[in-house]
C-alpha cells in the first residue's frame, strides 16, 4: 500500500482532539463558557497521547489546561461589516483589490500618465494578494514555555496575532488616527510608516490622521492633526524620532471624543509606554461605556525595554548598538589618560537596567556595571571601590557603565514629578566621579576620570535592520487585529510570536525589572568579575514574565491581580 495512504489511515485512527504544541503555537477548540476575569480555558491533552519515535513523554511533565488572556472585540457589541452591509466580510486582499486600485490609496487625485496599460490609473504599491495563512480565533501562543517536573500542569497564553478570516470594519470606511506619546525611541517612524502602508495598501482605508504632539494633539491648536499619505511617510524610516512629535501629559477624554466624533475615527493606534497605554485603556473603557465603535490598539514603546511580557520592545536592539560607540569612547579615554584612567558611561534606564546590561555585554569592554535593581555598596568586601582600584592596578584603567536610575539607595528618592508621572532622578554620574576621586586620594593616588552621558543620543538614531523588520511586523498585525474588531489590547512579541495582550494585563506588572538572580546578571558578573551584593539565597526582585502574578488556584479558579490603573499619563 502506498506509504501516504498508510499514514492517512493511521492519522484517522488517532484522537486528533489531543494536541501536542511544538513551537508553542496551538490551535485547539475553545470550550463553551469563559473562566473568570480575563482568561478562557482550553483543553490540550492529558498526557496519554501516543509516543513518537523522535520524542519521549516524561511522566512528571504535562500541560492539562491553558488559560488564555481575554481580548475584547467590537463584534460582541456592534454589527460587523458583513452583517451591516450584506457584503462578504472575509479577509482576502484580492477581494477588494480592483476597487482599491481604481480609487487610489491616499485620498489624492489620480495623476495622468502616459503608460498605455492597465496599471495607468492606480498606485502600483497596492497589495495584490490574498493571505495564504489566516490566523484562527482560537490560535494561541503559550507564555510559560519552560516546564519542570512537579509543576502545576497549566500554562498561560495569548491569542496569536495575524490576518483574521473575517473583518469587522468595511475597510473603505475606515478613518484611522495614529499618535505617539512619551519619550522618543528608535523605530517610531518605522511603526508610523508601516501602519499607514498597511491601512492603505493592504486594506484600502479611507483616511489616516496623524495626531501631533501626543495627547495634546487632540485639542491643542498649536499642533493640529495632519492627513497622513503614503507619499508623506515614504522615507521617514530613515530618520530618528517621530514625524508626529511627542509629549507627556495633555490627556483630556472629552476633547479626545470630540475629535473622534468630528473626524469619524473608528480605529486609533497609540504608540507609547505603560503610562501611555493606561491612557489608551481609559479611552477604550469610555468607548465601551458610551457605545462608541472605536478599536483602540496599543503598540508598546520604551527604550528601557521594561514593558512586561514582551520579548523586547522595538528600538531596543538599535539603542544597544548605538551605546557601543559611547562605551568604546569611554574605554579609549580611560586607556589613553594617565594615571589611573576611568571612563564612566551613563545610559538610560530609569527603573530597569536592561539597556546598561545588554550594551555592556555587547561591548565586552566593561569592568563594572551598575543598575537600579542591584544596590550599590561602596566599600567593604562587596564594595565597588576596592574592586575598581584593584582592577586599575591590574590593567591601568577601568570602564564603568551605569544606568541613570542606579544609586537611589545612596542618593535618596526625589519628590519632583514631571508631567508624565516620572520622578526626577539623582545625578548618579557626577556622584560616582566624586567618590572615585575621594577614594583614590585616600591612598595618595590621583585619577583621570572622563564622564560620557550619551543618554538621549542612543534613542534618536534610525532603527537598524532588525528593528525595522520588527516594527513592520508589529504595525501590520496591529492593523489586522483592528480590522477584525479587536480593541483594548496591545500588540507584542511573546516567545517569538506576535500576540494580542489586554492592556490591563500589560501595565499591571510594568515596568519590569532585570532579575538580579537571573541569567543576564550572571553573565554580567562573569564578564566583569565585580562583587555581587545579592546572595543566591535572597528573594529575587525580578519579574520575568511574572509567572507568579496570574495563576489558577488548586481549586481550578483563576486568580488575577488587578492592575489598579492610575491616572492616564504619557510615559
Q: Looking at the annotation, which residues are catalytic?
A: 304
Task: Please give the grid coordinates belonging to residue 370.
Answer: 551598575
C-alpha distance from residue 128 to each of 482, 552, 571 (Å): 21, 46, 39
* Strand boundaries in 429-479, DSSP class E: 448-452
Task: Please give the grid coordinates belonging to residue 423.
Answer: 520622578
Phi, psi of 482 (to 5 degrees): -65, -45
Integer Cα distance of 505 and 528 in angstroms: 36
State the helix-helix crossing angle for 465-483 and 188-197, rounded to 10 degrees: 40
Q: 170: helix, coil or strand?
A: coil
C-alpha distance from residue 117 to each of 121, 122, 129 (Å): 9, 11, 20
Integer Cα distance of 263 and 256 in angstroms: 11
* Cell 497549566 belongs to residue: 154
Integer Cα distance of 552 and 65 in angstroms: 10
Integer Cα distance of 91 and 25 in angstroms: 22
DSSP state at residue 161: P
Q: 200: helix, coil or strand?
A: helix
Radius of gyration of the chain (CA): 26
Amino acid at each position: 500500500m502506498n506509504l501516504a495512504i498508510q499514514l492517512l489511515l493511521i492519522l484517522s485512527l488517532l484522537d486528533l482532539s489531543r494536541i501536542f504544541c511544538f513551537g508553542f503555537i496551538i490551535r485547539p477548540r475553545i470550550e463553551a463558557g469563559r473562566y473568570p476575569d480575563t482568561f478562557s480555558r482550553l483543553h490540550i491533552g492529558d498526557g496519554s497521547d501516543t509516543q513518537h519515535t523522535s520524542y519521549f513523554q516524561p511522566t512528571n511533565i504535562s500541560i492539562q489546561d491553558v488559560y488564555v488572556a481575554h481580548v475584547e472585540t467590537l463584534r460582541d457589541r456592534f454589527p460587523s461589516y458583513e452583517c451591516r452591509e450584506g457584503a462578504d466580510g472575509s479577509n482576502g486582499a484580492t477581494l477588494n483589490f480592483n476597487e482599491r486600485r481604481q480609487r487610489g490609496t491616499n485620498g489624492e487625485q489620480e495623476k495622468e500618465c502616459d503608460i498605455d496599460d492597465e496599471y495607468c490609473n492606480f498606485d502600483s504599491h497596492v497589495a495584490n494578494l490574498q493571505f495564504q495563512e489566516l490566523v484562527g480565533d482560537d490560535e494561541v501562543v503559550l507564555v510559560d514555555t519552560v516546564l519542570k517536573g512537579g509543576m502545576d500542569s497549566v500554562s498561560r497564553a495569548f491569542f496569536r496575532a495575524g490576518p483574521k478570516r473575517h473583518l469587522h470594519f468595511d475597510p473603505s470606511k475606515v478613518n484611522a488616527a495614529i499618535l505617539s506619546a512619551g519619550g522618543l525611541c528608535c523605530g517610531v517612524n518605522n511603526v508610523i510608516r508601516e501602519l499607514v502602508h498597511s491601512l492603505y495598501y493592504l486594506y484600502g482605508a479611507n483616511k489616516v490622521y496623524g495626531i501631533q504632539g501626543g495627547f495634546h494633539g487632540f485639542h491643542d491648536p498649536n499642533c493640529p492633526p495632519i492627513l497622513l499619505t503614503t507619499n508623506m511617510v515614504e522615507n521617514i524610516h530613515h530618520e530618528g524620532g517621530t514625524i508626529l512629535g511627542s509629549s507627556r501629559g495633555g490627556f483630556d477624554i472629552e476633547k479626545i471624543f470630540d475629535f473622534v466624533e468630528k473626524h469619524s475615527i473608528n480605529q486609533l493606534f497609540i504608540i507609547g509606554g505603560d503610562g501611555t497605554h493606561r491612557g489608551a485603556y481609559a479611552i477604550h473603557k469610555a468607548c465601551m461605556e458610551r457605545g462608541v465603535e472605536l478599536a483602540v490598539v496599543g503598540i508598546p514603546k520604551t527604550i528601557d525595554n521594561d514593558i512586561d511580557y514582551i520579548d523586547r520592545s522595538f528600538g531596543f536592539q538599535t539603542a544597544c548598538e548605538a551605546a557601543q560607540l559611547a562605551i568604546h569612547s569611554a574605554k579609549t579615554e580611560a586607556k589613553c589618560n594617565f594615571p589611573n584612567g576611568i571612563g564612566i558611561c551613563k545610559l538610560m534606564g530609569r527603573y530597569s537596567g536592561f539597556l546598561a546590561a545588554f550594551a555592556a555585554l555587547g561591548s565586552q569592554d566593561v569592568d563594572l556595571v551598575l543598575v537600579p535593581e542591584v544596590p550599590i555598596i561602596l566599600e567593604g568586601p562587596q564594595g565597588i571601590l576596592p574592586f575598581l582600584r584593584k582592577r586599575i592596578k591590574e590593567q591601568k584603567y577601568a570602564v564603568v557603565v551605569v544606568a541613570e536610575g542606579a544609586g537611589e539607595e545612596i542618593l535618596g528618592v526625589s519628590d519632583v514629578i514631571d508631567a508624565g508621572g516620572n520622578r526626577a532622578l539623582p545625578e548618579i554620574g557626577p556622584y560616582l566621579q566624586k567618590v572615585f576621586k575621594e577614594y583614590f586620594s585616600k591612598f595618595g593616588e590621583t585619577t583621570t576620570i572622563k564622564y560620557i552621558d550619551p543618554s538621549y543620543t542612543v534613542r534618536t538614531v534610525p532603527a537598524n535592520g532588525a528593528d525595522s523588520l520588527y516594527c513592520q511586523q508589529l504595525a501590520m498585525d496591529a492593523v489586522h487585529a483592528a480590522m477584525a474588531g479587536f480593541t483594548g489590547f496591545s500588540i507584542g512579541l511573546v516567545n517569538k510570536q506576535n500576540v494580542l495582550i489586554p492592556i490591563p494585563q500589560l501595565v499591571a506588572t510594568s515596568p519590569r525589572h532585570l532579575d538580579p538572580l537571573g541569567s543576564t546578571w550572571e553573565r554580567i558578573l562573569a564578564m566583569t568579575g565585580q562583587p555581587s551584593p545579592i546572595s543566591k539565597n535572597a528573594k529575587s526582585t525580578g519579574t520575568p514574565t511574572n509567572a507568579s502574578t496570574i495563576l489558577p488556584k488548586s481549586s481550578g479558579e483563576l486568580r488575577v491581580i488587578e492592575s489598579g490603573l492610575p491616572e492616564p499619563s504619557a510615559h
